[in-house]
C-alpha cells in the first residue's frame, strides 16, 4: 500500500456518450439551468416580498425552492464546463464537495417534504391547534433540522471517505457520488465503516418516508369524512403529493440503478436516471406550487399585470 500514489484527479467517464452531441447538450442544459434559476427565484421573491404569504405552508415552499437552487448549482455549472472541455476530470477535493452537495440536497429535500406533510396534517386534521403548534419558532427549528441534519450526517460521511486511499480514478457518472468514490478505493481498505454509516443514513430517511405515509393516511381519512377538508386537500395537498411521488420514484430509481443495475444498460439511460433528480424536481416544484396554490398564482398574475401596464 505504501507504493500507491495518492489520487488527486478523477475521470468522469459517463460523458463518452455525449461526445457527438456536445453543442446540443450544452445549449439544452444552459436553457434548463436558466429556467431552474428563473422559476425558483421568482417563487422565492414572490413569497419573501408579499407579507400575506408569510405563512408556514408558503415559507416551506420557499425553502423547497432554495434547496432546488442549491442542488442545481452544485451540478450544472461544472456539467456545462465539462461539455465544453476535451477531457472531463474533477479534482479530488471538488469531487468530495460535489458528492456532499448532491447527497445533502436530496436528503434536505426529503426532510422538507416531511415537514410539509406534517404542516398539512396539522392544518387539516387539527385546524384548531394549528396556529398554536406551528409557530414561527417551531417552523424555524423544523427548517433548521431539514438543512443542518443532512449537512452534519454527510460531513461525517465525507470525512470517512477522505481517510481512504484510492487506486482507481474512473467514475462512471456525470458527477461525483460518494458510493462510487468509495468503490475505487484500494483493495484492502476498510470500507466497512463507510457502508455501515451509509445504511444508517438510509434508515434515517426511510423513517422520513414512513412518517410521510403515516400523515397522508390520516389526511385521506379526514378528507373522506368532510367536504370542506376534501376541498382543502385538493387545493393544498395535491401539489405536495405530486411532488412527493415524483421525488420518491426518481430517488428510488437512481438508488436501485446505482447499486444493482447491469453494465449492459445503455449509458444514455444511465445518464438520464442520474440527472433526473437535478432536473425534474427543481423545474416542477416552482411550477407546481406557483400555479396550483392560488395565493402564489394570483400574486404572480398581479405582478405580471402591473409590469405590463
Under 8 Å between Cβ of 191 and 164: yes
Nine cell digits for residue 57:
405552508
User: Looking up cell 475521470, which residue turns up?
Assistant: 11
Give pLDDT tens digits along the chain (309 positions): 444 446 678 888 877 766 667 788 889 999 999 999 999 999 999 899 888 888 888 899 999 999 999 999 999 999 999 888 878 888 888 999 999 999 999 999 999 999 999 998 888 888 888 888 888 899 999 999 999 999 999 999 999 888 888 888 888 888 888 888 888 888 877 788 888 888 898 899 999 999 999 998 888 887 777 777 677 777 777 888 888 889 989 988 888 877 766 566 777 788 888 888 899 999 998 888 877 776 777 777 776 655 565
Residue 27 burial (10 A CB sphere; 0-12, 13-18, 19+):
exposed
- CATH assignment of 9-307? 1.20.1070.10
**Distance separating alpha carbons of residues 74 and 55, to the nearest angstrom:** 29
Under 8 Å between Cβ of 39 and 290: yes
End-to-end CA distance of the chain: 71
DSSP 190-210: --HHHHHHHHHHHHHHHHHHH
Long-range contacts (CB closer than 8 Å, 24 or more residues apart) made by 124-130: 124/219, 124/222, 124/223, 124/229, 124/232, 124/233, 124/237, 125/218, 125/219, 125/222
**Distance separating alpha carbons of residues 139 and 146, to the nearest angstrom:** 11
* The pLDDT value given to residue 165: 85
Nearest by Cα to 98 from 67, 81, 75, 65? 75
Distance (Å) of CA 240 to CA 70, 168, 278: 20, 42, 18
**Distance separating alpha carbons of residues 163 and 114, to the nearest angstrom:** 33
Enclosing H/E stretch for 1: none
Residue 94 burial (10 A CB sphere; 0-12, 13-18, 19+):
middle
Backbone angles phi, psi at 8, to 5 degrees: -115, -10
* The pLDDT value given to residue 2: 44
Nine cell digits for residue 156:
461525517
Nearest by Cα to 292 from 223, 249, 244, 238? 238
User: Looking up cell 452544485, which residue turns up?
Assistant: 74
Burial string for 106-145 (b: 16+ CB within 10 Å, else e) reads bbbbbbbbbbbbbbbbbbbbeeeeeeeebeeeebeebbee
- Sorted by sequence, the CB contacts under 8 Å of residue 59 that are 6+ apart come out as 47, 139, 143
**Helix spans in 126-191 (H):** 130-133, 136-162, 178-183
Helices 267-292 and 238-260: angle between axes, nearest 10 degrees = 170
Amino acid at each position: 500500500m505504501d507504493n500507491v500514489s495518492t489520487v488527486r484527479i478523477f475521470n468522469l467517464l459517463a460523458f463518452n456518450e455525449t461526445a457527438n452531441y456536445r453543442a446540443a447538450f450544452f445549449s439544452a442544459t444552459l436553457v434548463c439551468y436558466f429556467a431552474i434559476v428563473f422559476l425558483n427565484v421568482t417563487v422565492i421573491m414572490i413569497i419573501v416580498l408579499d407579507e400575506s404569504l408569510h405563512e408556514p405552508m408558503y415559507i416551506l415552499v420557499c425553502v423547497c425552492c432554495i434547496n432546488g437552487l442549491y442542488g442545481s448549482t452544485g451540478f450544472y455549472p461544472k456539467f456545462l464546463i465539462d461539455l465544453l472541455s476535451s477531457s472531463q476530470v474533477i479534482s479530488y477535493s471538488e469531487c468530495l464537495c460535489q458528492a456532499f452537495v448532491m447527497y445533502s440536497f436530496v436528503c434536505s429535500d426529503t426532510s422538507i417534504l416531511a415537514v410539509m406533510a406534517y404542516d398539512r396534517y396539522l392544518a387539516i386534521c387539527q385546524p384548531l391547534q394549528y396556529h398554536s403548534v406551528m409557530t414561527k419558532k417551531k417552523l424555524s427549528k423544523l427548517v433548521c433540522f431539514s438543512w443542518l441534519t443532512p449537512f452534519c450526517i454527510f460531513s461525517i460521511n465525507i470525512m470517512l471517505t477522505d481517510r481512504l486511499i484510492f487506486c482507481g480514478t474512473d467514475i462512471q457518472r456525470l458527477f461525483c457520488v460518494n458510493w462510487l468514490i468509495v468503490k475505487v478505493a484500494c483493495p484492502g481498505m476498510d470500507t466497512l465503516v463507510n457502508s455501515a454509516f451509509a445504511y444508517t443514513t438510509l434508515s434515517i430517511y426511510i423513517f422520513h418516508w414512513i412518517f410521510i405515509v403515516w400523515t397522508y393516511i390520516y389526511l385521506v381519512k379526514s378528507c373522506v369524512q368532510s367536504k370542506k377538508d376534501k376541498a382543502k386537500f385538493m387545493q393544498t395537498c395535491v401539489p405536495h403529493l405530486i411532488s412527493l411521488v415524483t421525488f420518491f420514484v426518481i430517488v428510488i430509481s437512481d438508488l436501485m440503478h446505482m447499486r444493482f443495475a447491469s453494465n449492459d444498460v445503455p449509458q444514455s439511460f444511465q445518464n438520464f436516471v442520474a440527472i433526473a433528480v437535478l432536473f425534474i424536481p427543481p423545474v416542477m416544484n416552482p411550477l407546481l406550487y406557483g400555479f396550483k396554490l392560488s395565493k402564489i398564482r394570483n400574486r404572480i398574475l398581479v405582478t405580471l399585470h402591473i409590469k405590463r401596464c
